[in-house]
A and B are shown apart, each in its own frame.
Chain A
Amino acid sequence: MFEVIKDIEIWESFRNGDEDAYSILYREHVGAMYRYGMSLSSLSEYFVFDCIHDVFTEIWAKRATITTPTNIRSYLLKALKNRMQNQILRRESKFLPIKDGEFDELWEDSVSDEMAFFNNYGFSKEELVNKLIAQLPPRQQEALRLRFVEELEYSEVANVMSINRQSAQNLVVRAVEKLRKTFPSLNL
C-alpha cells in the first residue's frame, strides 16, 4: 500500500510540472516498459526506445489534463503498447490488421513431445519452463508476464490487454493447464 501511495504522490507532483517527479517516474518504470515493449515486438530495440520516448513526452505535454491513474505501471505499459501498435499499423497499413487472438489456434499441441525431447538433453528446469512458456500463444504469454512479473492485478492485466477481467484470467488458466499437462511427463 505504501508503495502505491508514494507512486500517486509522485504522479501528482509530476502533474504540477515537477521535473524531479517526472524523472523518478521514468526511472521507476522504464525497466518494465522496456522488457514489456521488447516482448511485444520483434522489431528493433530502437523502435521500443522511440515509443518509450513518445509515451513520456506525450504525458509531459498533457500532464495538466490527464487524470491520475489507479495503477501507474499499468497505465504506462498500456500507453506503450498503444503507441507501438499505432506505429506498426501506420507502417503496415497496406495489410489487413490481424486481431489479437486470431493466431491462438496455430499454437496447438505439438508442445509436449518437443518438451520431452528437450528434457532428455539435460536442460535445467528454468530452461525447460522458459521454452514451454515461449511456445504458448502470445497473448497467454503476455498475460503471464503482466500478472507474474509486472505484478498487475487481473483487472489491470485486462486493462492493458484491452479485454475483460474474465478473459485475462482465462488466458492464464489455459496457460496453467498446458503447464500442468506437460509437467508430469517432465517430472518437474
Chain B
Amino acid sequence: MEKDYTKYKVSDFLTDDEFVGQHLNPTNESESFWQNWQSYHADTEYSEAVSILKSICLGLNSYENNEITEDTKSFIFNKIKETNRKKSIFQFAKYPKQWLGVAASVVLVCLAVFFTHKTSSYNSNLAELNQKFIEKENQHKEAILIHLPDGSAVKLASKSKISYPANFEKNKRVVILLGEATFDIAKDASRPFLVYANEVTTKVLGTRFNVKAYESMKDIVVSVEEGKVSVYKNKKKASHENELTGVILLPNQQAIFDRSSDQYNKKLIQKPTIINANPMSFSFNETPIQEVFKRIEIAYGIDIEFDESLLHGCQVTGTFDNESLFQKLDIITKIIGGSYEVVEGKILINSVGCRE
C-alpha cells in the first residue's frame, strides 16, 4: 500500500477499496495497517470518512435486509433444476433461432426411429406369416380368450396383440406375439407350434405355456406349465432350424431371455405347481429320502440332485398337504439337516447326511 493517505480527503477515503474493505470486512492485515496508520495520523478527514461510511451502511440496512425467504429460495431452485432437466433433453434449444426448426424435426425423426425400432421385431416377425393373417389386440383390462384355427386356445393378456393366419400351414403353426399370452396348444406332432415374440421363438408340440414379451420389457420370459418347449433366438434365415441354439423347458421351468445381452437364464417359475396328480401321496412314514425326492420330482416334473451315498439312511416322517414346493423342500431339508438351492431350473440338495 503505497498510497499517501495523509493527503486523502473524505471522498478519497470512501472511494478507496482498502479503506472501505477495512470497515466492512476487516482482515488481520488491514486491521494492523489501519491501526498503525491511525496512531500516527489524528486525521479529521479520516474520522469523518469513517462516520459517513457507517451512516451509509445504516441507511442501506433496509436494502440489505430485504431477504428472500428460504421457501422461495427452494421453490426457485426446484424450478431451475426442472428447467435444466428439460433443457438437457432438448439441447438444441441453445442454438440460434434459425436452427430451431431443423432441430425439432431432427428430434421427431429420432423419436420415430426409436419407436419403430421398438416395434420392428413384431412387424418383421409378421413376415413369417406370408399370407393373409388375423390380428387381435386386447385393449381390455382383463385377459381375453382366443381360439386358433387348429383348436388351440390363447389367453391374451391386456395390452397385448397376436397375429395368426386364417389357416395354419401344413407343416407348422406360426403365431406372432407382442406382449403376454398363455397358450394351450392342441397336440399335433406333425405340425410344431411356433410363437415368435420379439427376438425369441418358442417351439412346442402340444403343451401349456406362457410367453411374456412386451416391447418395453428388458427380458422375454417363457414359462412352461405342461409338456416340453424349446426356446431359441430368432435367426435371420429361418431355414436353418436345426442349428438353432436355445434352451429346452420342462414344466415349472422358465427361460428368461435378456434382450440386451442375448443371454438365457433358466429358472424355476415362481410358484411351481403339481403337474402330475399321481397316486403317490405326500404322506411319509419313515420313508427313505430317495423315495421322498422321487415323488416330488414326478409330481412337479422337476429334477432334484443330491448325493445318494451321503443321504443314505435319511428318513422322513410326516404329511404334506397344501405346502408349496419350496415349503416342502424347506421342511425336508430341515429334517435331514441341510439346505437346497435352485440352479438352472433344478433343485440341488446340500447336506452332510444324517446317520445316527
Contact = CB atoms under 8 A, between A and B. Distances in A.
B57 interface: yes
B24 to A, nearest CB: 6
Contacts of A176: 10-11, 14, 52, 56
Contacts of A47: none
B5 to A, nearest CB: 16
A148 B58 contact: no
Interface in B99-132: none
Contacts of B242: none
Contact of A130 (B10, B14, B61, B80): B61
Interface stretch (A7-15, A89-97, A149-157): A149-157
A130 B59 contact: yes
B60 A144 contact: yes
Contacts of A49: 72, 76
Contacts of B63: 35, 39, 145, 149
Contact of A30 (B56, B64, B73): B73
Interface string A27-61: 10011001100110000000001001100110011
Contacts of B25: 151
A85 interface: no
Interface in B1-18: 10-11, 14-15, 17
Interface residues of A, number: 43
Contacts of B73: 26-27, 30-31
A144 B56 contact: yes
A133 to B, nearest CB: 4
Interface string B54-75: 0111111111101110001100
Given A35-B67, A53-B76, A53-B79, A145 B10 contact: no
A169 interface: yes
B14 A173 contact: yes
Contacts of B194: none
A180 B52 contact: yes
Contacts of B21: 151, 153
A95 B248 CA distance: 80
Given A126-B59, A129-B58, A149-B64, A154 B15 contact: yes
A180 B56 CA distance: 11
A129 B59 contact: yes
Given A34-B66, A144-B60, A177 B11 contact: yes
A183 interface: yes
B83 interface: yes
Interface in A97-139: 125-126, 128-130, 132-133
A16 interface: no
Given A147-B20, A176-B14, A53 B83 contact: yes
B75 to A, nearest CB: 8
Interface of B: 10-11, 14-15, 17, 20-21, 24-25, 27, 48, 52-53, 55-64, 66-68, 72-73, 76-77, 79-80, 83-84, 87, 94
For the complex of A and B, 10 pairs with smallest distance between CB atoms: A129-B59, A169-B15, A34-B68, A133-B59, A35-B66, A153-B17, A173-B11, A57-B83, A130-B59, A56-B80
